[in-house]
Structure 1
Amino acid sequence: MWLIRYCNLSVTLVRTVKPRTFLSCVSYSGFNSRRNDLGQTTILCQDGVNIRELPLIVRKVRDVVLVCSNTGDSENDVVVKFQGSNYRNCDGCSGDDKENKNKISEKETKEIMEGLGRCSSIKNLLSLLETIPACEVTAEVALCALNKFIQLENNKSFRNLITGDTKDVNMSESGEVNFTRTAVFNQLVDVIVEGKDSAPVLGCLKILSKETFKTNVLSYRNRLCSEILVRATEGNLTIEQVCQAIKTFSDFSLGQAYEKGVIEPDNLWIGISSRQADITAANIVEVFSILPLLKKSRKAVLSVLEKRMSSIWWELRPSSPALILEYLIKADLTSKPIVSTITRWAHSSSKVLQDAGLIDILDSLLKLDHVDGQIIGALENLSARGCCVAVPPMAAMAARFCAYFRVRSPRTLTSVTDVLILHGKELPPGMVRDLMWALAFFNWEPPEAIWKVMDEILDEKFAQFPPEDILDVLLSCIILGRPPINTSRRIYTPSYLDRALISSQRGRVETIKSKLRLVDAALSVEWPQKWNDGKPILSRLEAVSIWQDGRVRRVARRVAEILNEHLDRKSDVDTKVFPGRPLPFGELHMVDVVIRSGKRVWPLNRSEQTMALLINLPEHYCKDSTVLIGPQMLRIRHLRLVGYHVVTLDYSSLSRMWVHPSAFLDYVKSRMELAFDPLPSNF
Structure 2
Amino acid sequence: MSYFILNQLRCCRSRVNLNKRYGSAAAAVKPVRYYSDDNGTKDGNDEHAINGLKTRRHALGQAVILVQQGVEIQELPIIVRRYGQNEIVAFGSNKLPLGVAGLTHQANNENTVPTDQSTAHISSTPNSTNVVINPVTDCDTIIKLLEKCETGESILQMIASLPKHELEQDTLVFALEKILRIEPMQMLKSFEATNEQYQQLLNSFCRVCDTTILLNVLKQLQSMLFMNQSIEQICDEILMRNADGCLSVMEICEAVHRFVECQRFTGAEKFWAGLSDADKDINENNIKFVFEILPKLKVSRRMVVGILDKRIVEVFPLLRPNAVNDIMEAIKEGRIGCHTNDTLKAITRWLNVNIHAVNETHLEQIVHCLTALNYTDSDFESAIERYMKAKAMKIKSQTLVIEILKHVNTFRLLNSYILNGCSEFYIKEAANIDPGYLRDIVYPFGRLHFQPMNTSKFWETIETYLNINFNKISTAHIVDILLATVYLKLFPVNFIDRVFNRQFMHLLHSSTSMNELPMVREKLKLLDTALTLECSEYNGPLLPRQVGGNQVTIDNRIKRIINDNSDIIQLIAGDKTSYTTLQVPQQLPYCNLYTIDVLFHPPGFSLINYNKIKDRNVLVAALIHLPEYYDTSGTYLIGEQQMRIRHLRHIGLKVVSLQYTALSKLSMHRKELYEYIAEQMSQALPAIEPNK
Pairwise TM-score range, normalised by the shorter structure: 0.7 to 0.9
Aligned residue in 1 for 2:270? 267
Aligned residue in 2 for 1:419? 425
Aligned with 1:52 (options 63, 71, 74) = 74
Aligned residue in 2 for 1:21? none
Query: How many residues matched?
Result: 610
Q: 5 Å matches for 1:341-360?
A: 341-360=346-365
**TM-score by structure 2 length?**
0.77
Aligned residue in 1 for 2:304? 301
Q: Does 1:246 align with 2:253?
A: no
Task: Quote how far apart the aligned CAs of 1:666 are.
Answer: 3.9
Aligned with 1:146 (options 176, 188, 211) = 176
Give the Cα separation in 2 of the matches to 1:632 and 1:56: 54
Answer yes or no: is the 8 Å Cα contact 1:388–1:395 preserved in 2.
no
Q: 5 Å matches for 1:315-354?
A: 315-333=318-336, 334-354=339-359
In 2 relative to 1, CA 643–209 (structure 1 residues): closer, same or farther, beyond 3 Å?
A: same
Give the Cα separation in 2 of the matches to 1:26 and 1:461: 82
Task: Quote how far apart the aligned CAs of 1:628 are.
Answer: 1.3
Answer yes or no: is the 8 Å Cα contact 2:155–2:175 preserved in 1.
no
Aligned with 1:545 (options 547, 551, 563) = 551
Structure 1 stretch 610-619 or stretch 568-577: which is displaced more? 568-577
Task: Quote how far apart the aligned CAs of 1:362 are.
Answer: 2.5
| Per-residue Cα deviation, 1:202-229 (whole angstroms, up to 9, x for no partner) | 22222223348x4xx2221122112111
Letter in structure 2 aligned against 1:80: L
Q: Does 1:80 align with 2:113?
A: no
Aligned residue in 2 for 1:160? none
Aligned residue in 1 for 2:438? 432
Q: 5 Å matches for 1:79-228?
A: 80=98, 126=155, 138-153=168-183, 170=187, 177=190, 185-195=198-208, 197-211=210-224, 214=226, 217-228=227-238
Letter in structure 1 aligned against 2:176: L
Answer yes or no: is the 8 Å Cα contact 2:256–2:271 preserved in 1.
yes
Letter in structure 2 aligned against 1:336: N
In 2 relative to 1, CA 137–430 (structure 1 residues): closer, same or farther, beyond 3 Å?
A: farther
Task: Quote how far apart the aligned CAs of 1:471 are.
Answer: 1.4
Task: Quote how far apart the aligned CAs of 1:235 are.
Answer: 0.9
Give the Cα separation in 2 of the matches to 1:485 and 1:183: 87
Task: Quote how far apart the aligned CAs of 1:343 are.
Answer: 1.3
Q: Secondary structure at the match of 1:452?
A: helix
Q: Does 1:682 align with 2:691?
A: yes
Answer yes or no: is the 8 Å Cα contact 2:76–2:299 preserved in 1.
yes
Structure 1 stretch 572-581 or stretch 400-409: which is displaced more? 572-581
Give the Cα separation in 1 of the matches to 2:385 and 2:174: 55
Give the Cα separation in 2 of the matches to 1:422 and 1:387: 10
Aligned residue in 2 for 1:289? 292
In 2 relative to 1, CA 132–346 (structure 1 residues): closer, same or farther, beyond 3 Å?
A: farther
Give the Cα separation in 2 of the matches to 1:329 and 1:36: 39
Q: Secondary structure at the match of 1:150?
A: helix
Task: Quote how far apart the aligned CAs of 1:511 are.
Answer: 1.2
Task: Quote how far apart the aligned CAs of 1:441 are.
Answer: 1.5
Letter in structure 1 aligned against 2:684: A
Aligned residue in 2 for 1:636? 645
In 2 relative to 1, CA 110–633 (structure 1 residues): closer, same or farther, beyond 3 Å?
A: farther
Task: Quote how far apart the aligned CAs of 1:566 are.
Answer: 5.4
Letter in structure 1 aligned against 2:222: S
Q: Secondary structure at the match of 2:217?
A: helix
| Per-residue Cα deviation, 1:322-357 (whole angstroms, up to 9, x for no partner) | 332333344443122112111111111111123232
Q: 5 Å matches for 1:20-59?
A: 32=54, 35-59=57-81
Give the Cα separation in 2 of the matches to 1:356 and 1:545: 47
Answer yes or no: is the 8 Å Cα contact 2:152–2:179 preserved in 1.
no
Q: Does 1:497 align with 2:529?
A: no
Aligned residue in 1 for 2:528? 520
Q: Does 1:380 align with 2:356?
A: no
Letter in structure 2 aligned against 1:395: V
Answer yes or no: is the 8 Å Cα contact 1:640–1:646 preserved in 2.
yes
Q: Secondary structure at the match of 1:385?
A: helix
In 2 relative to 1, CA 187–408 (structure 1 residues): closer, same or farther, beyond 3 Å?
A: same
In 2 relative to 1, CA 221–665 (structure 1 residues): closer, same or farther, beyond 3 Å?
A: closer
Aligned residue in 2 for 1:461? 469
Aligned residue in 2 for 1:258? none
Give the Cα separation in 2 of the matches to 1:99 and 1:520: 97
| Per-residue Cα deviation, 1:73-101 (whole angstroms, up to 9, x for no partner) | xx97656169xxxxxxxxxx996889999
In 2 relative to 1, CA 67–310 (structure 1 residues): closer, same or farther, beyond 3 Å?
A: closer
| Per-residue Cα deviation, 1:514-556 (whole angstroms, up to 9, x for no partner) | 11211122222222433xx232324325225312223333445
Aligned residue in 2 for 1:236? 246
CA RMSD of aligned residues (A): 4.1
Normalized per residue, the structure richer in helix is 2
Give the Cα separation in 1 of the matches to 2:398 and 2:283: 34
Structure 1 residues without counterparts, runs of 5 or longer: 1-24, 69-74, 83-92, 158-167, 256-262
Give the Cα separation in 1 of the matches to 2:527 and 2:186: 71
Answer yes or no: is the 8 Å Cα contact 1:35–1:223 preserved in 2.
yes
| Per-residue Cα deviation, 1:472-504 (whole angstroms, up to 9, x for no partner) | 111111112223233343232233323322322
Give the Cα separation in 2 of the matches to 1:376 and 1:395: 14
Give the Cα separation in 2 of the matches to 1:569 and 1:308: 61
Task: Quote how far apart the aligned CAs of 1:117 are.
Answer: 11
Give the Cα separation in 1 of the matches to 2:470 and 2:480: 13
Letter in structure 1 aligned against 2:644: R
Task: Quote how far apart the aligned CAs of 1:513 are.
Answer: 1.6
Give the Cα separation in 2 of the matches to 1:98 and 1:453: 90
Give the Cα separation in 2 of the matches to 1:181 and 1:563: 86
**Identity of paired residues, percent?**
25
Q: Secondary structure at the match of 2:348?
A: helix
Letter in structure 1 aligned against 2:202: V
**TM-score by structure 1 length?**
0.78
Q: Secondary structure at the match of 2:657?
A: strand
Give the Cα separation in 2 of the matches to 1:422 and 1:296: 50
Give the Cα separation in 1 of the matches to 2:359 and 2:611: 58
Answer yes or no: is the 8 Å Cα contact 2:485–2:491 preserved in 1.
yes
Give the Cα separation in 2 of the matches to 1:328 and 1:519: 39
Answer yes or no: is the 8 Å Cα contact 2:335–2:373 preserved in 1.
no
Answer yes or no: is the 8 Å Cα contact 2:245–2:274 preserved in 1.
yes
Letter in structure 2 aligned against 1:594: L
Answer yes or no: is the 8 Å Cα contact 2:582–2:597 preserved in 1.
yes
In 2 relative to 1, CA 654–279 (structure 1 residues): closer, same or farther, beyond 3 Å?
A: closer
